[in-house]
Structure formats: C-alpha cells, structure tokens
Amino acid sequence: MIFLFIYITILWILILLGGFILVNIIAKIELKDIYLESLLKGGIAISMSILWIFIMVKIKDIYMRTIK
Amino acid sequence: MLEVITFLISFITTLIFTRYLIRVLKQKGSVVEDYFKPNKPKIPRPGGIAIVIGISIAELTLFILTSNTLVLALLLSVIIAFIIGYIDDKKVMSGYYKPLALLIAALPIILLNAYDYNLDFPIVGSVKIPLLYIPLIFIIMSTFGNTTNSIDVFNGLVSAFMIIVTIPIIIGLIINDKYELLPIAMPLVGSSIAFFVYHKYPSKIFPGDSGALTLGIAYASLAIISELEIIAVIALLPAITNSFFFLSTVKRIVEHRVIKSKPTILLDDYRIAASKDPNAPVTLVRLIVAKKPLYEYQIVNRILSLAVFSSILAIITLLI
C-alpha cells in the first residue's frame, strides 16, 4: 500500500511539473507559421507524455521485481 | 437552491428506481454471480438504468428551468455513455468497443460548445490550446469512462469512488466562484450516493458497464464544463493507475474477461491473493494483495483510501 501512495504522489508531482513546463516554456514558443508552431508544441507535449509514461513504467517494473 | 433541488431529485429518483430494478431484474433472471462470496449469490445487473434515470431527470429539470446548453451537453453525453454500456452489458463486445464507442459521447460537448480551450494548470497558470483541445476532449471522455469502468470490480467500489472524487470538483467550483455550475454537478453526487445504498458490501445490485460508464462520462463532462480537467485527473489517479498498470503489462486493449492468466486468485476462505504467474497482468488489486491475501471488503477500503488520498492531493492543488 505504501508503494501505491508514493506512486500516486509521484504522478501528482509529474502532472504539476508537466504543467509548469507546458505553461512556462512550451506555450511561450512563437513561430511565424502558426500551424508549424502548433505542431511543434503538440510534438513536444506528446514527447513529454511518452517520457512520463516511460518513467512510470520503470518505477512499476522496479517495484514488481522487489515483490517477486 | 437549485443545487439542493437537483441533488434531491437525482438522489430520490435513483433510490426508488434501484429498489424497483432489484425486484424486476431478479424476476427477469438478469442476474450474475457474486464471485467473491460463499455460495456465489446471484446479483441483479445492470443497475446503470437507475443511475442514468436519476441523473437524467435531475439534469432535464435543470435544463427546463435554466435553458443552459451546458446542462444539455452533459445530459446527452451521459445518455450516449449509458447506451454504449448497456449494449456491452447485453452482448459481449471486443476490447476496442468501449474506448472507441465512448468517443461518440464527446460529440455533445463539442457540438454544443460546452468547453473552453484554455487548459488550467493550478499553481502554474493556463495554456491556450485551440487546436489541441478538441482531440483532448475525445481523450478525456474515453479515458475517464474506461478507467471508471475498470475499477468496478468489487461491491460498492465504483459508486463510493465517484462520491469521493467528485468532492474536489465541487470544492473547485466554490473556490473558483462558479456557483452557477453547482446544480449541474450535484446529480452525479446524488445518484452515486443513492446507488451506493444498495451497491455497498454486500451488494444487492451491480451497476454493470452501463452504470460505470454513465458515472465516468458524467464525471468527465463535468470536469470539462467546469474547466477543472487537471483537478479531475488528479482525483482519478487510483483508477488511472489501475488502467495504466493493466495496459503496460498486457500491452493491448482487451477485455478483462478474455485474459487467460488472472491477476488474482480466490482462496478457499474467500480471501483474494495475488497470482504467482509472472505473465498475469498487474492491477491495483494485485499490488494491494501482493504481500498478504485480503477479504473483498478490506480491498475496497484500501482502494477507497487511495481515492481519499488522491482527492486530498487534488484539493491541495486547488488551494496552493
């Protein structure tokens, strides 16, 4: 159970961190071509989501190895 | 005042219809085994009919009184989700059916313009995503609906879970001075509480896919209409974690019932233990019983304590 509480807390921190990066860094990117700008911002956001998922999978896998 | 009226309408209607449904579904033989109980008693299903009637009558009354299109958007989305779930209750569909079909439930929100394309991140600010927000609505509707459905595995769990995770949304509406949206939110709470009366351990009725999807889509619609998407995601983290664990081990979208290696096993004394099979999918329940087997009600209490914890994190996020 402690693992699940910690896991949810890490997810919460990652959501807030992701929001901070989106609002303060990615949202401020400005390009002349609005569609290219949207594509770039969307691409960075999706890449970040994939990285977050990778982190969460790794944490879960490490925990699963400890309980086997 | 309107919030009290919508709460009472949904609560009383769901309470009366659930009681009526228990009798009617038993007479019609629409029952399923309660797998985790001695002698495996037959429990009526789907109780989702009572949930959707409770929410719909309350929201329809509100729409007649206010002509607010946000109410209509939520009402239509909820009805679509119920129909999708009811089809799945009556006929076993493929694993892709619910995630794809629930995309239709996003249409009323989009077509009735019941959203704002500013995505609010509490603490850090908001980001305008006019092009990305519509795909995001589809993702939110499908994800919330399916994750809510994924935790409907034990007596009383999904109805109690919804009561707990709606509290941060209600608090968010009050903190953000959106009192006019409180009457739209209250039918979800009223209907969940009324259904919980009969769904709590030991259950007298199961919600079925129609009930779980109705609750999940009502919650998703509310999160979008209230512009509290991130708060809703944080409150829903235990259910999202469950779906995430399952998908990351199974690596495909598939119905639980077709998985050959089950994540948990039922012991002779009716405690639930974690499967020793390394190929069995990882779920929230499997991790909860990983160290020692537990009875059903103990697992429900542990999952609900996670829901309370994630809801507290959501409220902290609102208050910082």
Q: CA-nearest residue of chain A to B125?
A: A23
CA-angle at B188, arms to B161 and B63, nearest 5°:
165
Q: In B22-148, at which residue ranges do the beta strands (DSSP E only) sit?
A: 31-33, 42-44, 118-121, 125-128
| Euclidean distance between CA atoms B248 and A61, whole angstroms | 10
Q: Are A20 and B124 within 8 A, CB to CB? A: yes
Q: Are A15 and B234 within 8 A, CB to CB? A: yes
Give residue B257's pLDDT: 64
- Overall size of chain A counted in residues: 68
Q: Two tokens at B317?
A: 């996020």
Give residue B39's pLDDT: 84
- Overall size of chain B counted in residues: 320
Give residue B258's pLDDT: 64
Assess contact for B205 and B198: CB atoms under 8 A: yes
Closest CB from A4, A38, A57 relative to B306: A4
Closest CB from B126, B288, B317 relative to A23: B126
Taking only the tens place, the pLDDT of each residue in B174-198 is 999 999 999 999 999 999 999 999 9
Read off the pLDDT of each residue in B300-310 and give the average, rounded to a whole number: 96
Q: Are A23 and B121 within 8 A, CB to CB? A: yes
Q: How far is CA A47 from CA A41, B116, B180, in A?
A: 10, 24, 38
Computed over every residue of chain B, the mean pLDDT equals 91
Please, is A2 exposed, middle or buried when counting C-beta atoms within 10 Å of its C-beta (0-12, 13-18, 19+)? Answer: exposed
Closest CB from B122, B132, B248 relative to A60: B248
Residue type (1 letter), B31: V
Q: How many CA atoms lie within 13 A of B98 on its CB side?
A: 30
Read off the pLDDT of each residue in B233-260 and give the average, rounded to a whole number: 80
| ipTM for the complex shown | 0.86
Closest CB from B123, B248, B282 relative to A16: B123
| Euclidean distance between CA atoms B193 and B18, whole angstroms | 12
Range scoring the smallest mean pLDDT among A14-28, B157-171, B204-218: A14-28
Q: CA-nearest residue of chain B to A60?
A: B245
Q: Is A20 helix (H, G, I), strand (E, B) or coil?
A: helix
Read off the pLDDT of each residue in A34-58 and give the average, rounded to a whole number: 84
Phi, psi torsion values for B267, nearest 5 degrees: -85, 170
| Euclidean distance between CA atoms B87 and B102, whole angstroms | 12
Q: How far is CA B313 from CA B165, B225, B279, in A?
A: 11, 21, 33
Assess contact for B244 and A56: CB atoms under 8 A: yes
B130: closest CA among A61, A52, A42, A48?
Answer: A42
Range scoring the smallest mean pLDDT among A20-29, B235-244, B254-263: B254-263
A16 to chain B nearest CA, in Å?
7
% of chain B with per-residue pLDDT over 90: 67
| Euclidean distance between CA atoms B288 and B306, whole angstroms | 11
Q: Are B127 and A23 within 8 A, CB to CB? A: yes
Q: Which of B23-32, B121-130, B131-140, B263-272 reaches the highest mean pLDDT? A: B23-32
Q: Two tokens at A10?
A: 């890490």
Asked whether residue B36 carries a pLDDT value surpassing 90, the answer given is: no
B217: closest CA among B78, B47, B23, B57?
Answer: B78
What band does B254 get if pLDDT is binned at 50, 70 and 90?
low
Which residues in B lie closer than 8 A to residue A45 (C-beta atoms)? 132
Asked whether residue B300 carries a pLDDT value surpassing 80, the answer given is: yes
Residue type (1 letter), B241: T
Assess contact for B177 and B252: CB atoms under 8 A: no
Question: Whole-model pTM?
Answer: 0.91
Q: CA-nearest residue of chain B to A20?
A: B124
Give residue B248's pLDDT: 80
Sequence-distant (≥ 6) Cβ neighbours of residue A14 within 8 angstroms: A52, A55, A56
| Euclidean distance between CA atoms B48 and B19, whole angstroms | 12
